[in-house]
Structure 1
Amino acid sequence: MKHLLTAAALLPLAACMAGKSDVPLVPTTPAASVQARGETDAVGTANADAADDPAIWRNPADPAASLIVATDKKAGLHVYDLAGKDRFFIDVGQVNNVDLKDMGPLGIIVAASDRNDRKNARLALFRLDPAAVKLIPLGTVPVGAGEAYGLCLMADGTTLHAFNVIKDGTIRQVALDLTGATPTGTIVRTLKLATQSEGCAADARTQRLYVGEENVGLWRFDARADGPTDGTLVAPVDGERLVADVEGVTLAPEGTGTGGYVIVSSQGDNAYSIYRLSDDSYVGRFRIAAGSIGATEETDGIDFAPGDFGPAYPGGLFVAQDGYNPPRAQNFKYVAWADIKAALGIE
């Protein structure tokens, strides 16, 4: 959900609303500033809230040839290169969130939450061909009633699990079978949050699932198909560290075990909040400020991938949707993980 006001525009409004809410509209916790090192071409849908969610594929043989798959939720899926050039587009209609996993012999599998039918959720599945730089449609998998909204993947051995977040807060865990002529899926369990939810990320190392409930905060669940279904609120919307809407969620794993961080889009004040995976503790906040490339505002989807991505992104790549990118349509900004860590003093 988009806010129509930026953090700057909220300042006079916050003064008028003083005393009417326990949650301040403008956060009191500072945010460090970083600048994007790259950006994508704009999505094809102009004058609309269209760009939404990115997914990064790192090319291990040639990191500079890595690709980003991203949604135009009014039209379909784009494939961008690290220079930000739009290399491929496929018209599949209204797809909201996207994720991908390299499944070895099965290829690089891309899944998107298909909301073309708002009453019946589906997963749209593709194979990414990095040599040809294109997406090959594999088919769609029905995943129950409701509007498909959030989506994240987790590889559990040879099984690919999709977590489909329905707009009303229902989360369905789907075991995908990609071995046949067309993909199929089995709903193995259902989780539930009380209100509208979207962004999610799953950690195969720890078997944990993180989901953003937009006006409540970031939740953590057990991601095992036979695990408990109760969630733990990791980071509440408090108007200080996290400002509604809570939108994109991504993981920045480091080392083994529970090392690394979860990053959340604090859409209400154009910032991003970081928490440790090991103990859910708060690390800091940052904003993508204007430099040679513009700032980001009203960010929906985000993604992170570790590793070397070439000279501009030697220590990992963070990609964020930019909801306000005049005079062009919305697009996605590229940030070096090294710049974020330096700004926040993360070693």
Structure 2
Amino acid sequence: MILCVSFITMTACTTGETEILMARRIANAAPAVNVTARGETVPVGTANADAADDPAIWRNAADPAQSLIVGTDKKAGLYVYGLDGKARDFLDAGRVNNVDLRDDVPINGSNGILVVASDRNDIANARLALFRLDPTTARLTALGKVEAGTGEAYGICMSRQGGTTYAFIVLKDGTVNQVALDTSAATPAGRIVRTMKLGTQSEGCAVDDRTGILYVAEEDVGLWRFDARPDGSTAPTKIAAADGRNLVADAEGVAIAPMGEKDGYVLVSSQGDNAYVAYRISDDSYAGRFRIANGVIGGAEETDGIDLMLGDFGPDYPGGLFIAQDGHNATVAQNFKLVAWDDIARALGLTK
């Protein structure tokens, strides 16, 4: 979020000061095209607070319109929403910050949808909170927690490689621990197989399972990629700097639009100017910027978490679904905005 600093002491921004700072950042940033949301979720239960944070998408291949969204209220727990935006379930999980999921994972004797959240109920000791999502009832069932290192849990993303499920937990200080998960028994287990490091506060991440690349956003520095393989290099490669032009700090949520075997786009939330930036996976080059503007449904501002999945999600989202946390949802609590990928691709002139 934006901070205001006086010459004597740090103070909270007034509404006017925040608007002035944001206007300056938008004016200095590269041009961005506008898209509008086609849907939104009901607000999270925690009002008057920075509460909604990160979404994860499950696509129902048999009936795409019945797909589900899992979203965090980082003060309270996890929501499950339908594509109509209505809450289907809420699980009191305490302070869970980010969330990701993978389908067809062995869970206590049968394959299912594994949901993993970064658990920051103890800010000195990071944990992974594991859940099973029932696609029929849209209910979450807690499976247990796995230790994930010393420090405050922040970002989370998952990967499936060679039959093993990995969780990448991003600690607030920029440490990234890769945790091999075992959910085949009644009590889940995990072990840290390696550790990577960025220099400062980091959070958003996503893994491209096709290419074995992990993308991580270092908030005031930029977007990085790592080798996601458990025996790969731990050295990061910078894709884009938070230069105030294409990517405006804070760099926050990260999502992937995979196309073909190795192509597509990686998207990152440019929170500092209420925008989102696309980079080409093939060569890390800049592909464009967009904003979610006010329409029939309100726009999105100061976005933290994002998620994206291509494919049919029914008549409103035939080519894919992009979801963004909305940090300013009019006079009600924060929520998540739903945007058709086709609208984004068309606005930016992206190759399908």
Give the TM-score band, short-chain normalised: over 0.9
Aligned to 1:35: 36
* Matched letter for residue 61 of structure 1: A
Structure 1 CA distance for aligned equivalents of residues 179 and 231 of structure 2: 12
Q: Aligned residues: percent identity?
A: 65
Unaligned runs of 5+ in 1: 15-23
Is contact 1:108–1:129 with CA below 8 Å preserved after alignment?
yes
Q: How many residues align?
A: 336
Structure 1, 169-178 or 97-106: larger mean CA deviation: 97-106
**Equivalences for 1:181-196 in 2 at 5 Å?**
181-196=186-201
1:174 aligns with 2:174: no
Change in Cα spacing, 1:2 to 1:102, as seen in structure 2 (3 Å) is farther
Change in Cα spacing, 1:146 to 1:219, as seen in structure 2 (3 Å) is same
Structure 2 CA distance for aligned equivalents of residues 29 and 154 of structure 1: 33
Structure 2 CA distance for aligned equivalents of residues 330 and 60 of structure 1: 29
Is contact 2:311–2:320 with CA below 8 Å preserved after alignment?
yes
Secondary structure at the counterpart of residue 319 of structure 2: coil
1:206 aligns with 2:207: no
1:298 aligns with 2:309: no
Is contact 1:289–1:295 with CA below 8 Å preserved after alignment?
yes
Is contact 2:95–2:119 with CA below 8 Å preserved after alignment?
yes
1:254 aligns with 2:259: yes
1:317 aligns with 2:321: yes
Structure 2 CA distance for aligned equivalents of residues 103 and 309 of structure 1: 19
Secondary structure at the counterpart of residue 28 of structure 2: coil
Deviations 1:87-130 (A, max 9, x none): 10000100000000002543100000000000000000001001
Structure 2 CA distance for aligned equivalents of residues 277 and 125 of structure 1: 30
Structure 1 residue 132: Cα displacement: 1.1
Aligned to 2:21: 10
* Matched letter for residue 115 of structure 2: V
Alignment TM-score, normalising by the size of structure 1: 0.94
**Equivalences for 1:1-347 in 2 at 5 Å?**
1=1, 8-10=19-21, 14=24, 26-104=27-105, 105-256=110-261, 258-347=262-351
Deviations 1:20-55 (A, max 9, x none): xxxx77433100000000000000000000000000
Is contact 1:124–1:141 with CA below 8 Å preserved after alignment?
yes
Structure 1 residue 2: Cα displacement: 5.5
* Matched letter for residue 50 of structure 2: D
CA RMSD of the aligned region, Å? 1.4
Change in Cα spacing, 1:74 to 1:11, as seen in structure 2 (3 Å) is closer
Structure 2 CA distance for aligned equivalents of residues 95 and 248 of structure 1: 15
Structure 1 residue 166: Cα displacement: 0.3
Structure 2 CA distance for aligned equivalents of residues 2 and 72 of structure 1: 20
Change in Cα spacing, 1:7 to 1:155, as seen in structure 2 (3 Å) is farther
Is contact 1:209–1:220 with CA below 8 Å preserved after alignment?
yes
Structure 1 CA distance for aligned equivalents of residues 316 and 37 of structure 2: 10
Change in Cα spacing, 1:344 to 1:7, as seen in structure 2 (3 Å) is farther
* Matched letter for residue 32 of structure 1: V
Structure 1 CA distance for aligned equivalents of residues 294 and 69 of structure 2: 22
Aligned to 1:18: none
* Matched letter for residue 44 of structure 2: V
Unaligned runs of 5+ in 2: 4-12
Secondary structure at the counterpart of residue 117 of structure 2: strand
Structure 2 CA distance for aligned equivalents of residues 218 and 184 of structure 1: 30
Structure 1 CA distance for aligned equivalents of residues 18 and 199 of structure 2: 27
Structure 2 CA distance for aligned equivalents of residues 301 and 133 of structure 1: 21
Structure 2 CA distance for aligned equivalents of residues 2 and 332 of structure 1: 20
* Matched letter for residue 75 of structure 1: A
Structure 2 CA distance for aligned equivalents of residues 28 and 158 of structure 1: 43
Structure 2 CA distance for aligned equivalents of residues 71 and 320 of structure 1: 12
Change in Cα spacing, 1:11 to 1:181, as seen in structure 2 (3 Å) is closer
Deviations 1:185-208 (A, max 9, x none): 010000000000000000111000
